[in-house]
Amino acid sequence: MKGAEYCRKSSEDKNKQILSLEDQVRECQKVVENNNVTLVHAPFIESRSAKKPGRPEFAKLIALIKTGGVDAIVCWDASRLCRNGIDGGQLIHLIDSGLLKAIFTPYTSYTQENSFMLWIEFGMSTDFIKKLSFNVKRALKGKAEKGIWPSGQSPLGYLNTPERLKGQRELIVDHAKFDLCRKWWDLQLSGKYNVEESLSKITALGLRGRNGESVSRTTAYRFFRNISYTGHFVYSGILYKGSHPAMITMSEFNRIQERLDRANKTTPTKQLAEFSGFIHCGECAAHITFETHTKTIKDGTIKTYNFYRCTKKLGACKQPFIPADELNKQAKALLESLRLETSYIEWVRGVLHRRNQQEFDFDRKQKELASKRLLDISKRKEIIFGMKTDGLISKDEYEAKKAEVLKEEAEAKEGFDNHSINRWEQILTKTLDFSARVMELFNHGDALTRKLVLQIVGSNLILKDKKLEIEAKSLFIFLKQDQTRHFGDNVRLEPENADTKANTDIFLNQSHFVPRAGLSSNHLYEILSSSESETKLLACQLQALNDHLSFSYA
């Protein structure tokens, strides 16, 4: 048989593995000699857990078996091959299909005749690892509930106690670094320094990492985000009160978090990168990404360059980069071209109000008729039921008449369930509000708001030859064209030398966005409330408007 050895050691238990990888290789050699197997490939060796699929060396072994390069596996124990159902099922299927002739271990061999034994072996291995995981998690949770640091590397300024017996290990103060770490917190709490500046100062005072190395910038940010310094710790998403001494108070920790969050929000680079992955290249259709580069000039000045470019992930592309400021200017220009004047918006609202009054009168009359019809139907239902009770009609006749009356009743009730009044006016009114505020939202909104503003106005944003193009939604185009047609370049309260009623009729007749009486919409959104300005709410409101316009008016 053409065989290959597979040896695995779990990464979680490097010091407690039953057999080391070298010992496994040695045992496999004995199995090869005793079973007339010819090794045709170097041993597949890896230090990875088999709890989940995804081991690279195991995957290579399986691929080799499927191509016929190997038809036998030699291993120290079946548990080395897998501890999960997917990998185990693969091996059993390969044996049953004949591609894999045998799996050899020092104790037994598995072939087509006894492949059912593998179900038992792999099942026991999977059950063992599940129970082990459960017991470990339960023990760690018990430690956490007692306030004992459950596991993991100790924070800078503290030490683990691995030399103690299990159940007695805890987090203790590192007297050589604890006071310096507290000093570092004080520097940050003073508000005079950012993280990098405070790192430089505390390094100059002598603070070093665990192995004497300089504390890195990444470690510095993690240091100020670690709640363990308050005497608490997080385990499995739950905050526990720890038994280790606190370095700072929770109030001090929260103050630092607010400062870091505030600094993170106002980072210019992040604000500039808002359109990354949002615009497509006009040449190859790949996404446009953001990059920032720094360059040191001869005089020692460091200059930062922010720009957008094609990712070129869909093939060769010759499109040049564009400075971030230039792209932002073009986006503003596109939005400005669709912005509506306040006087035009007020005029349209007046038109909608008069039209809505007509709709209201019509709808009220329709509901009066529907009410009379429902009352009549109710009386007919009583008569039909009485006829059935008195035996004047058969059961089949009763069911037929009942179905007919219920159908009429459902049709009549639709008149009350139809909420077309105000729906079409509200969505158009909200669109007008948005058009008036579009530049304000774009200029003063956060990255998400600015992106949503562009999504609402149009779709299919393309960047080609350093020029941004947007396919504006037809509703915005219609409103802008209507404003120009009726008001011209100089917008007034009413169109100059024009009959107001005539222009009102023109607006209503030309606009296919204004539904006629009786039409309804199932996509009404109450958005852009002037009294609510929270960022998250505004984002939801803008997204709602975008969804509605994309569905109804694109």
* Distances 61 to 45, 114, 225, 248, 472 between C-alpha atoms, Å: 10, 22, 43, 53, 54
Coil/strand/helix, residue 428: helix
Q: What is the pLDDT of residue 351?
A: 64
φ, ψ at 99 (rounded to 5°): -65, -35
Mean pLDDT score, 434-457: 74
Shared-domain flag, residues 423 and 406: yes
Q: Which of 3-7, 182-186, 483-487 has the lowest mean pLDDT?
A: 483-487
**Local confidence band at 65 (pLDDT 50, 70, 90 cut-offs):** very high
Q: What is the pLDDT of residue 400?
A: 81
Apex 526 CA angle, 523 and 530, nearest 5: 155
Kindly state whether residue 242 falls inside one of the protein's structural domains: yes
**Local confidence band at 17 (pLDDT 50, 70, 90 cut-offs):** low
pLDDT tens, residue by residue, 93-113: 999 999 999 999 988 889 988
**Local confidence band at 199 (pLDDT 50, 70, 90 cut-offs):** very high
Kindly state whether residue 60 falls inside one of the protein's structural domains: yes
| Non-local CB neighbours of 5 within 8 Å, separated by 6+ positions | 25, 28, 32, 39, 43, 44, 73, 74, 75
**Local confidence band at 229 (pLDDT 50, 70, 90 cut-offs):** very high
Kindly state whether residue 88 falls inside one of the protein's structural domains: yes
Shared-domain flag, residues 299 and 247: no
Q: How is residue 18 annotated by DSSP? A: S
Q: Per this entry, what is the length of the chain?
A: 554
Kindly state whether residue 215 falls inside one of the protein's structural domains: yes
Nearest to 308 by CA among 335, 278, 285: 278
Pick from 221, 251, 266: which residue ends a domain?
Answer: 266
> Tell me, what CATH number does 89's domain have?
3.40.50.1390
- Per the confidence metrics, is the pTM higher than 0.75? no
Question: In which domain, by residue range, is 257 found?
Answer: 158-266
Mean pLDDT score, 241-248: 90
Shared-domain flag, residues 332 and 313: no
Count how many domains the chain has.
Answer: 4
Kindly state whether residue 439 falls inside one of the protein's structural domains: yes
Mean pLDDT score, 372-389: 78
Shared-domain flag, residues 427 and 449: yes
* Distances 168 to 13, 162, 164, 165, 171 between C-alpha atoms, Å: 21, 9, 6, 6, 10
Shared-domain flag, residues 538 and 435: yes
Shared-domain flag, residues 278 and 333: no
Shared-domain flag, residues 365 and 315: no
Shared-domain flag, residues 183 and 299: no
Shared-domain flag, residues 58 and 108: yes
Kindly state whether residue 138 falls inside one of the protein's structural domains: no
Kindly state whether residue 89 falls inside one of the protein's structural domains: yes
Q: What is the pLDDT of residue 257?
A: 87
> Tell me, what CATH number does 237's domain have?
3.90.1750.20
Shared-domain flag, residues 33 and 90: yes
Kindly state whether residue 143 falls inside one of the protein's structural domains: no
Shared-domain flag, residues 318 and 332: no
Shared-domain flag, residues 432 and 553: yes
For residues 285 and 312, what is the distance between their CA atoms, to the nearest angstrom? Answer: 9
For residues 441 and 450, what is the distance between their CA atoms, to the nearest angstrom? Answer: 7
For residues 225 and 227, what is the distance between their CA atoms, to the nearest angstrom? Answer: 6
Task: Please report, for the chain, how many H helices and E strands are present, in that order.
Answer: 18, 16
User: In the predicted model, is pLDDT for residue 529 greater than 60?
Assistant: no
